[in-house]
Homo-oligomer: A and B are copies of this chain.
């Protein structure tokens, strides 16, 4: 874990990723670096207040960092959001969540980006990796073809599921299952107890190349491309996106945040998130 004070350089706090293994940190930093290099001047600097870029609870059992960069007005990127969360569990274990997501504006209908690792022990992870669709794939088969079939996104899921340590993961939230694409990677990775090296090897040799490939598809086909979107469709996208953002806050943060960080910190962070999500 990191020895630097969170108050010394809050801007860099997200990129410290102090609580995860080296391969996990390397992967996240690689992804952020590719994103920021490729989008470069299309992104505004992170302007979050320092006490939202890094925050903790009073007893120091939970700490977290948030990193958001909004797109400039002419970019289809609404914002990119990275975060990590570390907390000690009452059971004695620790929980580490790291995530990176990308949201587009309603002037594009292309998919968003979602990458999340939920680690409940050094050998046990849940991995969520997807380009969540922005439209009903049943009603728009061409959209399914363009972003999911022609890109062969499912081949990555198939590769990963060949590993003995990998099993499909079913979120307890039906909403989350509904919001991801049919080629979403939703897996539980479990190396045998004590086999930390094997767990890290899976992240480095298997998860990492797949995450980079999927991020590349997002950049090539979604985040850096202009799509033709009519006025009615824009209203549809705005409505659907808004529901997704509200639900994400509700499910991911709404119930857990006050419990983990206390009401004051939770209100502060959720307030900033709601502003970004509703801009």
Residues of B within 8 A of A170 (CB): 157
A154:B174 contact, CB within 8 angstroms: yes
In the bound complex, what is the Cα–Cα distance between A243 and B138 (angstroms)? 7
Residues of B within 8 A of A136 (CB): 136, 138-139, 240
A138:B174 contact, CB within 8 angstroms: no
Contact with B along A172-197 (1 / 0, CB 8 A): 00110111011100000000000000
Number of residues in A with C-beta < 8 Å to the partner?
Answer: 25
Q: For A138, A175, A239, A240, which residue has the most chain B Cβ atoms within 10 angstroms?
A: A138
Known: A136-B136, A138-B179, A139-B136. A174 touches B144 (CB 8 A): yes
A149 interfacial contact with B, CB 8 Å: yes
A261 interfacial contact with B, CB 8 Å: no
Q: Which among B157, B174, B181, B244 is the interface contact of A148 at CB below 8 angstroms? A: B174
B182:A174 contact, CB within 8 angstroms: yes
B182:A144 contact, CB within 8 angstroms: no
Q: Which among B141, B177, B178, B239 is the interface contact of A243 at CB below 8 angstroms? A: B141
In the bound complex, what is the Cα–Cα distance between A240 and B135 (angstroms)? 13
Give the nearest-CB partner of A177 in chain B: B182
Give the nearest-CB partner of A172 in chain B: B154
Q: Which among B139, B174, B243, B244 is the interface contact of A240 at CB below 8 angstroms? A: B139
